[in-house]
Structure 1
Amino acid sequence: MKKKKPLTRSQNMARIKSKNTKLEIYIRKLLFKMGYRYRINYSMLPGTPDIYILKYKTAIFVNGCFWHRHENCKIATFPHTNEEFWEKKFRRNVERDMEVREKLFEMDISVITIWECEIREMQKNEIYRKKYLETLKNRIERVFNYCEKDISVQMKISKYQEKYK
């Protein structure tokens, strides 16, 4: 039997999807069940949000913790090879995310960032998922507040709160 060659790094990276990932589809299905209707990968807005809810002028980005450098997350590891390249790439990703958030804010569009680790926790823990979706609903439907500087605050629910509520 012939042995298969291992994938090169380039081939490996080429297989990483940027649209319609499993995490995005999971969130879209949840939002649809909640009664929200949305556009996907809405290219008429800066940053092409993964989900855009027209009625509430809300852009939702489903971010991978590794690529978008989620702070204090175990998934956001740093590669040990070619460190200069990765540092530059990650820095530019974070800068681009901030630029897009500011442009959307100027257009009076609310921005919500949902992180990969939060979705994975939702998939594992039913209580967490219910609380998270309730918080998400409140964030989508609330009135846009011009005084808020950063409205894409992470909606992490601590495990401590879950035990004692």
Structure 2
Amino acid sequence: MKHLPKHLRPRWRYLAVELESWPDADIDRRDFQRSVWFAAQNLLGDAGSADADLKVLQFEFGDGTGEAILRVRHGQVQAARAALACVDEIRDDSVGLRVSGISGTVRACEEKYLGADGQIRDERKVVFEDAQRSAVERDGLLDVRTDGAFAGATELDFE
């Protein structure tokens, strides 16, 4: 079977997406893909989500932060961004998504927008709600472990 000529092949854009959640969140590629499809279908409908054709190409998540590359059809970038804005939970874990960049190739997307996020993760003991608790620090923000969950805090909450 012959390949299609270049002018007949579908054109794609690649979205670099940053994920942030609580440090104990357990999110994998399959769960993320399912949430993206579900959000696109709810917002854009069956025909719109088929036009956007969102697909997760790369996914990495650990310690509450992660990054992914999503493939979307050339003319559907704004619709894809709107669908991603609707994702606020992945398998009962709250999550925040941010599109850090859009590129025409996967390689350029990796080089420009993904990689080391510069965040220094550190675990330390803090006093919160009159008790000593463990906290995970990322960029001056603290996620304090409370009775089986996490609470977001800053340095000002401990003075």
User: Structure 2 length normalisation: TM-score?
Assistant: 0.34
Query: Which has more helix, going by share of residues?
Result: 1
Query: Which has more strand, going by share of residues?
Result: 2
Higher relative contact order (CA 8 A, sep 6+): 2
* CA radius of gyration, larger in: 2
User: Structure 1 length normalisation: TM-score?
Assistant: 0.33
